Amino acid sequence: MTTILSIQSSVAYGHVGNSAATFPLMRSGIEVWPVLTVHFSNHTGYGEWRGPLLAAEDVAEVVQGIDDRGVLPRVDAVLSGYQGAEAVGAVVLDAVELVKERSPRAIYCCDPVMGDVGRGFFVRPGIPEFMRDRVVPKAQIVTPNHFELDFLTGRETRTLDQVLDAAHALRSVGPETVLVTSVVTDATEDDSLTMLAVTGEGAWQVTTPRLDRTFTGSGDLTAAMFLAHWLRTQSASQAVGATADIVYSVLKQTADSGLPELQLVAAQDEIVTPTYHFDVHQVR
């Protein structure tokens, strides 16, 4: 059975981080071992929350405890998302190295959560540079949004060709596959969003309608679904298509519900058999 070690934040109410990734991965038939970096009452977008930010040493202890069981050779991939401090990021990198020692076939998928268009950076100072210089080069798959891609490559991309060139520039520092989410170029229609998967073999684009609201945790869901389908198919084009279908279908049901959090349980069938389907086009 495919197994993912997922090192991310967790919330009791709502769905972000591991709370947005674990259930969809399991519903997809994947074994998940969640390691928590924080355990908050709710995501920080509410402005108030309670609960602990786990010390890097505690996160490392959990990973070590899993290794003590002798089961890390089963791991097919490590998935990470928001990293609240450089010390936690260092633990993630140590965990990746340990997993690869125990399971040489394992890959590392990094969602370099740092910021977004309109919000700018929402992580602590120093984290973006740490992600760019230390974390991203160690990953085989990275899933930045358009804003994060521009920062990671030191570019301002406004056309599809510029985004593709930036994705290849990011590939040149280490990652084999780059998934760029929430792509908006000068040619993008106001009512649509694009997702791009870029590898050494080509680039593939999927365009979906833009829903008129913000979905906290959608990036975490996207990274998890892309990794799941990449592990299943070993194909970036198939993985980006399946991811777009699932994520849009879940977000549409969430939007229709009028509720503030991702409706992962109510929309769980969309994870397996999504209602909506979008064509994948090779663009380079």
Q: Which long-range contacts (CB under 8 A, 24 or more apart) does 191-197 make?
A: 195/222, 195/240, 195/243, 195/244, 196/163, 196/164, 196/167, 196/240, 196/283, 197/226, 197/236, 197/237, 197/239, 197/240
Contact 215, 262 (CB under 8 A): yes
Residue with tokens 């991811």: 243
Tokens matching residue 118: 């309109």
Helix (H, G, I), strand (E, B) or coil at 145: strand
The DSSP secondary structure of 4-56, one letter per residue, reads: EEEEEEEESSS--THHHHHHHHHHTT-EEEEEEEEEESS-GGGS---S-B--H
pLDDT digits (tens, 9 = 90+) for 210-231: 999 999 999 999 999 999 999 9
Residue length, the chain? 284
Contact 108, 138 (CB under 8 A): yes
Q: What is the pLDDT of residue 258?
A: 97
Q: What is the pLDDT of residue 247?
A: 98
- Walk me through the domains of the chain, giving residue ranges and CATH numbers: 3-190+213-236 (3.40.1190.20)
More confident: 190 or 246: 246
Mean pLDDT of 104-110: 98
- For the entire predicted model, the pTM comes to 0.97
Q: In angstroms, rounded to a whole number, what is the distance separating the alpha carbons of residues 24 and 1? A: 16
pLDDT digits (tens, 9 = 90+) for 228-256: 999 999 999 999 999 999 999 999 999 99
118 pLDDT higher than 80: no
Mean pLDDT of 75-89: 93
Residue with tokens 């590898």: 199
Contact 25, 32 (CB under 8 A): yes
Q: In angstroms, rounded to a whole number, what is the distance separating the alpha carbons of residues 225 and 235? A: 13
**What confidence category does residue 83 fall into, taking pLDDT thresholds of 50, 70 and 90?**
confident
